[in-house]
Chain A
Amino acid sequence: MFVSKRILFFKSKENGYMLFCGNSNSFYQIDDENVSVIQKMIDTGKEDELPEEIRTEFIKSGVLLKESDEEFYNRLKFSSYLTRFSKNHLSLTIAPSMACNFKCVYCYEGSKVKNVTMTQEVMDGVIEFIKKSECKALSITWYGGEPLCAWDKILEFNKKIEELNLKSFTQDIVTNGSLLDEEKINFIYDKKFTNMQITLDGNEEIHNASRPMKNGGNSFQTIMSKLDLVYKLFKDQNKKIPVSIRVNISEKNANCYYDLYKDISMKYGDLFYIYPAFVTKSDDSDCHASTCLSFEKEAEFILRLSNEKGISTDKLFPAHNKLVGCGAQRINNYVISPNGDLHKCWEDISDKNKCVGNVLTGYRDNNNINYSFIVDSTGFEIEECKNCLFVYSCMGGCPRFRMNNETAGKIINPVCVNIKNNPEEFLETFYKMQKNQKCCC
């Protein structure tokens, strides 16, 4: 057997020795009596003195590998390539309209887009595109603009996709939530949407300042009234609707996350999943760049939230291992704008230079965008990632950030996971939260 190097064995501040293994994201608290034998295993690369029970567990979790770390890495790299070039599964993010009833101050779609809504010709083109892909499984994320501004298009798409009789069809939606009503909520439940993401930017004052409505309405209270409606419809039915509330975090609102979390949790129980998402920037000239938390401050925020407020986040422990870091790194993954243009990344939806084709006129990847996303910007190709404890969990991070950082010659947005900042403290905090049963991981 080979003792993997992708492990972290450390003495925690208050809870004795711990061992984390990145090959499987397994995490152990080590009894004092076994510390020396495990230390010896790491120092010598030999496992023959391990108690049988521990040896068996370590083989299962990849602390002990049947091949060297490099061979294991190459095996996963090979599997990752298979997945990236798989044609079986088609993932589409579709913006049926760029119209939106909000005018968020930071919207990256900004002034570059007009309120274009998908025509019948483009809708038919999308259906043809799905048919021609010969995919067996299809997943769609409804996006915009505000997708609920084009609800009739979503209904029509659903009807046409059902007629395709695909073996698997799943969908989810990213919405500001303000246009929800009983009919839409029930449709989202009945059609088994896997997620409905609604964004808040903090408490009422901060949220309304950064996500105002075009009609001058109170954006925060409007969203809350829709959450009330969802709660009313589902609280007594023992049904769970997959609503996640994304709270964008910057210097401006980091301090009010706890109060917002507490208010929503007290009002709605655990019906909604609430999570913090750190604001990122397009470049240093971005007028919101100065309000973004630094990588170190993000880590402090996560730890303080757990240690001082008892709120866990999914950033405390590495996410599930995966073979592809981002959907944009798969060949059969596209973002479709209302005029039928195909892109790889959501944030490029309004950028003609990042267009890789159109559902009506075909594929034309003039700038080799697919290559950049699929081959050139994944963790497997980068030396720092190759030796990282968390590579199989993050897979090199956001490929768009990575490309932008390389072009700029500096880090505009960090690509690494927050736990990398201070793994021992993150892991011990995770342990303490688990012990107190407050962990969401």
Chain B
Amino acid sequence: MKNIKSNSIMESFGMKEMDVEELMQISGGEEESCGVWIGCRVKCTCNGSTYITCPSKRILECTSWGMAL
């Protein structure tokens, strides 16, 4: 099989996978509990976005059109 264009689902939505610790290191943010998603959310201090995690504790990174809460 030849991958002509191979994206993960999240990549295709302009999001990048990273774990909570990695994101918090980059963002300088803090982890918060979340009422709407199983898992948590992380406040980011670099661009004002809030990142939400998926149930498996992976991060869906916000883009300007992304998943900012």
Contacts and interface: CB of A to CB of B under 8 A. Distances in A.
Interface string B16-51: 000000000000000000001000000001111110
A61 B8 contact: yes
A323 B6 contact: no
A441 B7 CA distance: 13
A8 to B, nearest CB: 13
Given A79-B67, A323-B65, A392-B13, A88 B4 contact: no
A28 B2 contact: yes
A83 B49 CA distance: 11
A60 B6 contact: yes
B53 to A, nearest CB: 12
A88 B1 contact: no
Interface in A130-145: 135-137, 139
B49 A136 contact: yes
Contacts of A168: 47-48
A57 interface: yes
Nearest to B6: A26
Interface residues of B, number: 28
B5 A324 contact: no
Contacts of A18: 4
**Main SS of the interface on chain A?**
mixed
A402 interface: no
Nearest to B48: A136
A421 B65 CA distance: 27
A90 to B, nearest CB: 10
A24 B4 CA distance: 13
B65 A83 contact: yes
A30 interface: yes
Given A23-B12, A27-B5, A60-B8, A167 B47 contact: yes
Given A83-B66, A88-B69, A323-B67, A26 B1 contact: no
Given A26-B12, A89-B64, A137 B4 contact: no
Contacts of B67: 79, 82-83, 323
Nearest to B5: A27
Interface stretch (A182-190, A314-322, A409-417): A314-322
B59 to A, nearest CB: 14
Contacts of A170: 64
A25 interface: yes
A88 B49 CA distance: 7
A317 B1 contact: no
Given A24-B7, A34-B1, A88 B50 contact: yes
Of B5, B14, B45, B52, most buried by chain A (CB within 10 Å of CB) is: B5
24 contacts: A18-B4, A23-B9, A24-B11, A25-B7, A53-B1, A54-B1, A57-B3, A60-B9, A61-B7, A82-B36, A82-B52, A83-B66, A88-B50, A88-B69, A89-B68, A135-B48, A136-B48, A137-B49, A168-B47, A320-B12, A321-B14, A322-B13, A323-B66, A430-B4
